[in-house]
Amino acid sequence: MNRHMNPQVVLEVRQCRLFSQLSNRQIEDLLEGCETVSLARSEHLFQPGDPLKHYYLVRKGQMQLYRLAFEGHVKVFQIVGEGDMIAESVVVSESGLAPLAAVSLQDCKLLRLKAQHLLTLVRRDPDFARYILAMISERLYQAVNRIDRLTVSNASQRLVLYLADLFRDQGRLWLKLPLSQGMLARQLSIEPETLSRIISRFRNAGVLSIKGRECVLLDIDALCELVKLPGDTFKGDGYGNPVAGGALFRCCNFSDN
Using CA atoms in the order 185, 101, 166, 190, what is the torsion angle rounded to 10 degrees?
Answer: 20
Angle, CA of 65, 240 and 156, to the nearest 5°: 50
Angle, CA of 178, 180 and 184, to the nearest 5°: 85
Query: Which amino acid type is present at position 232?
Result: D
CATH of 154-252 among 1.10.10.10, 3.30.160.70, 3.30.465.10, 1.10.3720.10: 1.10.10.10
Kindly state the percentage of the chain with pLDDT values over 90: 47
Domains 7-149 and 154-252 share a fold: no
- Closest Cα partner for 226 from 202, 242, 191, 255? 202
Domain boundaries defined on the chain: 7-149, 154-252
Distances in Å between the alpha carbon of 238 and those of 128, 165, 194? 23, 12, 32
pTM confidence score: 0.67
CATH superfamily for 7-149 is Jelly Rolls (2.60.120.10)
Is 79 a residue whose pLDDT tops 90? Answer: no
- Closest Cα partner for 96 from 131, 59, 53? 53
Q: What is the pLDDT of residue 252?
A: 36
- Closest Cα partner for 188 from 140, 224, 156, 233? 156
Helix (H, G, I), strand (E, B) or coil at 195: helix
pLDDT 10s digits, 173-227? 999 988 888 888 887 888 899 999 999 999 999 999 998 889 999 999 999 999 9
Helix (H, G, I), strand (E, B) or coil at 15: coil
Q: What is the pLDDT of residue 186?
A: 80
| CA distance linking residue 101 with residue 106, whole number of Å | 15
pLDDT category of residue 50 using cuts at 50, 70 and 90:
very high
Distances in Å between the alpha carbon of 112 and those of 35, 109, 164? 5, 10, 33
Is 96 a residue whose pLDDT tops 80? Answer: yes
**Counting every residue, how long is the chain?**
257
